[in-house]
Amino acid sequence: MDPVTSSTTNRPLANRELIARAPRVVVKIGSSSLTRPDGSLNYEQFDQISEIIAKRAAQGRQVVLVTSGSIAAGLAPLGMSERPKDLATQQAVAAVGQGMLLALYSEQFALHGQQAAQVLLTSDDLVRRQSNVNAARALDTLLNLGVTPIVNENDVVATDEIRFGDNDRLAALVAHLVRADALVLLTDVDGLYDGPPSRPGTKRIDVVTGPEDLEGIEVTGRGSSVGTGGMVTKLESAAIATGSGIPVVLTSADQAGDALAGRPVGTWFAARAHRLSARRLWLAHAAKPRGSVLVDAGAAAAVGERQRSLLAPGVTEVIGDFEAGDVVEVIGPDGLVARGVVAYHSDELTELLAETANRSQLRPVVHRDDLAVVRDLGGRARGR
């Protein structure tokens, strides 16, 4: 696979050893790694990750830390043992825990001579162009000032409509936003296994270069009682990042230092050779679809493999109520192929499907400039 080029030096970043010299890296650590089995905060872990990042910053290399833990931090003060299920209580717990989380990180980073700053984001901040630009500028400025940004989802104001859902996805989008050279996902297991890690005989997968490396593996979808993710969200995050030209290392939090030093720990996810534009990344992973258009196999191949515009003759069914200019999903016989900005109202498009004459002469349903193919870890459209 072709090497990935550094965003700041134009030097190739082709393997995990070069992470040690990467100018800019995003590190994500989850709630399960920051808490003890009883749900209390693991202060030693906060100290360890802060020291590792501070040492890297002292070498002139930049790190953005995407952290979970605001809700986990707020549980104990409110006498709770598990993450609440309703959104309003989650927001209230996050409001209590967010200040505690920042204070703890600030204290730990200061002990190692490093300044930290809090950056709270919602998916709206990446969907709206001006907010996206502002967030990127703020993160760039902090990094260039020698400050470590501590990024978290803004759980206090996020709703089901605008939330990322888990910080794994947020980390991948932030990695693209700041033009990172690599993404390191820290969790409570030391890599991706071909089955449940606790089951005898399972093996850690060292390298993932494409979907064939994931065939036959068993992946759980739920994380700890204080988190929202699981290995499924880690793989989705890796797919977003690698599909945008950013390699990923997945490993345990206690191996963070080794991962950033480029040692052969965890699972390495190789990246594609080029990065998506900000608009196409937004379409593929951040925009909220308002409906779907089902297409035949020919249209799925044209869109997913040849990246052509979606034309009316290939559409077989319209699902949902959407306006011209909304984002819709393009679904082929084998599944999701792409997301894009539709040129028709759903009612207008439904009427067009009933008209057999001159359908090929109509403007594209979704123009190729407004399409983002949704690819798997191997860079292939999911609908293939």
The full DSSP string for 261-318 is: TT-S-SEEEPPPSSPPPHHHHIIIIIS---EEEEE-HHHHHHHHTT-PPBPGGGEEEE
Round to whole Å and give the CA distance between 271 and 237: 12
What pLDDT sits at residue 384? Answer: 38
Q: What is the pTM of this model?
A: 0.79
Q: Which of 255, 278, 301 is the last residue of a domain?
A: 278
| Domain hosting residue 227, numbered range | 4-278
Q: Which of 249, 278, 307 is the last residue of a domain?
A: 278
- The residue assigned the tokens 């539709």 is 342
Round to whole Å and give the CA distance between 160 and 139: 25
What pLDDT sits at residue 4? Answer: 38
| Highest mean pLDDT, choosing among 118-122, 140-144, 174-178 | 140-144
More confident residue, 172 or 1: 172
Q: Region 266-272: what's the mean pLDDT?
A: 88
More confident residue, 66 or 201: 66
Residue 111 reports pLDDT greater than 60: yes
What confidence tier does 383 reach under pLDDT thresholds 50, 70, 90? very low
Each residue of 301-333: b (16+ CB within 10 Å) or e? bbbbeeebbbbbbbbeebeeebeeebbbbbbbe
Residue 11 reports pLDDT greater than 50: no
Say yes or no: 214 and 158 in one domain: yes
Q: Which of 253, 278, 303 is the last residue of a domain?
A: 278
Residue 302 reports pLDDT greater than 60: yes
Q: Region 294-314: what's the mean pLDDT?
A: 93
Q: CATH number, domain at 69?
A: 3.40.1160.10
Say yes or no: 73 and 216 in one domain: yes
Residue 76 reports pLDDT greater than 90: no
Note every long-range contact of 374-378, with CB atoms under 8 Å and residues 24 or more positions apart, other chains counting: 374/284, 374/336, 374/337, 374/338, 374/339, 375/239, 375/243, 376/211, 376/239, 377/208, 377/210, 377/211, 377/213, 377/214, 377/235, 377/238, 377/239, 377/242, 377/243, 377/269, 378/209, 378/210, 378/211, 378/212
Residue 380 reports pLDDT greater than 80: no
